[in-house]
């Protein structure tokens, strides 16, 4: 009996592809070409192969037109990500195609990158490395590249989900106080002493560092705009490892130039892989290439979680354990 066809849109970690090949007629993308940026091409390949499931990734064009054109053979869309911004969920529901993601396994790794970006911004690490690589370092000097310490500072976490809570635990190890803004207040056990704010003004005015962990979409687009930036303490630091669309780039660049924001650490961008040009000439912004979940252990776990859902739906006729 032939194996079900699994259409994989991106090159995945070796261990994940090995498992996919073992259990399925896996149509892999070994060259990691970006054909999945075209929704019509996804649908064409799914139709041509009679795919039973599609294992896609962040940035793929799983839009309404693509999903409407998928063949009846497709029983599941599994995404190699927690976020589902790239998938038109109502369109999938209309086709009765379940969607599964990879929650829980990347929280710590993403929080690590948020903390890395925060340290880079606070201690001017990016500037220091660029100075060395350019051959311009003349040795230690009493006033060279003075940043600010995180010890005793107040970290404000916007979006206190799994990643935000992991970030909070790390911050306490650096003797930081933790405040947070969330749709709902957490239980005392989840708060672990963090201070909840029910409104933006009190939250932004109380913190030294803002770390953003909110999802994308119309409701959060440009959440950090000029008005909210003005509510921050002068010289605050901004970190974003959530979604690039949640920041008004022009407003943040203006604040970085004026000093209202001392520095920023960014791992996500609006329209990535494009980066807002205003950031590129600034020394006080650390720019990372969407590295949040980029650890070997984490990426393997994400792939295995996606395949767990494919196995459940395609091989056993069950509900996907990680259905959205």
| Residues belonging to the active site | 243, 272, 290
Q: How far apart are CA 256 and CA 51, in angstroms?
A: 48
| CB 211, CB 167: distance < 8 Å | yes
Q: How far apart are CA 6 and CA 171, in angstroms?
A: 41
CB atoms within 10 A of CB 300: 17
**Which residues partner with 239 through β-bridges?**
211, 265
* 66-75 contact pairs (CB < 8 A, 24+): 66/39, 66/40, 66/42, 67/91, 67/92, 67/95, 67/97, 68/95, 69/39, 69/40, 69/43, 70/42, 70/43, 70/46, 70/95, 70/97, 71/43, 71/46, 71/47, 73/5, 73/46, 74/46, 75/313, 75/314
| CB 76, CB 53: distance < 8 Å | yes
Q: How far apart are CA 25 and CA 296, in angstroms?
A: 25
Q: Sheet containing 99-100: which strands, arranged edge to edge?
A: 25-27, 5-8, 53-57, 76-80, 99-100
């Amino acid at each position: 009996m032939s194996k079900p066809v699994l259409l994989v849109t991106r090159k995945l970690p070796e261990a994940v592809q090995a498992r996919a090949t073992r259990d399925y007629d896996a149509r892999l993308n070994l060259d990691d070409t970006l054909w999945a940026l075209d929704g019509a091409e996804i649908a064409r390949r799914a139709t041509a192969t009679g795919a039973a499931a599609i294992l896609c990734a962040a940035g793929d064009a799983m839009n309404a037109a693509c999903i409407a054109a998928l063949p009846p053979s497709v029983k599941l869309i599994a995404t190699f990500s927690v976020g589902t911004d790239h998938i038109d969920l109502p369109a999938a529901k209309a086709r009765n195609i379940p969607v599964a993601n990879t929650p829980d396994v990347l929280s710590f790794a993403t929080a690590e990158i948020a903390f890395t970006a925060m340290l880079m911004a606070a201690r001017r690490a990016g500037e220091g490395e660029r100075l060395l690589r350019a051959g311009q370092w003349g040795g230690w000097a009493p006033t060279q590249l003075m940043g600010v310490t995180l010890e005793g500072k107040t970290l404000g976490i916007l979006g206190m989900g799994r990643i935000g809570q992991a970030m909070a635990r790390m911050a306490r190890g650096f003797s930081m106080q933790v405040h947070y803004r969330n749709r709902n207040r957490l239980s005392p056990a989840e708060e672990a002493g963090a201070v909840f704010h029910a409104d933006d003004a009190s939250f932004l005015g109380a913190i030294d560092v803002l770390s953003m962990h909110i999802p994308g979409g119309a409701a959060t687009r440009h959440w950090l705009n000029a008005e909210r930036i003005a509510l921050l303490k002068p010289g605050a630091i901004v970190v974003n490892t959530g979604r690039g669309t949640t920041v008004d780039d022009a407003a943040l660049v203006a604040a970085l130039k004026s000093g209202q924001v001392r520095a920023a650490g960014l791992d996500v961008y609006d329209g990535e892989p494009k980066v807002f040009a205003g950031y590129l000439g600034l020394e006080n912004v650390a720019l990372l290439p969407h590295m949040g979940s980029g650890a070997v252990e984490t990426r393997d776990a994400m792939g295995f979680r996606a395949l767990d859902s494919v196995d459940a739906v395609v091989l056993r006729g069950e509900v996907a354990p990680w259905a959205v």
